[in-house]
Amino acid sequence: MNQLSVTDLAAWLADPERPKPLLLDVRQPEELEICVLPGVVAIPMAAVPVRLAELPEDGDIVVICHHGGRSMQVAMFLENRGFNAVHNLAGGVNAWAREVDPSMPTY
């Protein structure tokens, strides 16, 4: 599993030449109400195993949570299930708010 910094993800999303990854946010709905990156697919961590069919096995997936711990667990789970291009967003939305978008609310 690749660790992806928030600045690297911001550059990836801004690059019109590069295919966009699926942004998988594994936080709880109440966390998403506080802050969320645009365009995420929200699947709470506990629901990922039963919703695997919704995820592309061969496309890039960036897994996101609050600080990067839950997303790392989900990224490892996905890799163990045969997903080939999984990235963990190091620092999660908290790092995104600090380093990329200071207007994003934090918790």
Q: Which sequence positions are flagged as catalytic?
A: 65
Residues with Cβ within 8 Å of 36's Cβ and at least 6 positions away in sequence, in order, are 25, 42, 93
- Residue 67 in tokens: 């600080």
Q: State CA 34 to chain mean position distance.
A: 16
Neighbours of 59 (CB within 10 A): 13
For residue 100, CA distances in Å to 6, 13, 74, 79, 94 come to 7, 12, 23, 27, 10
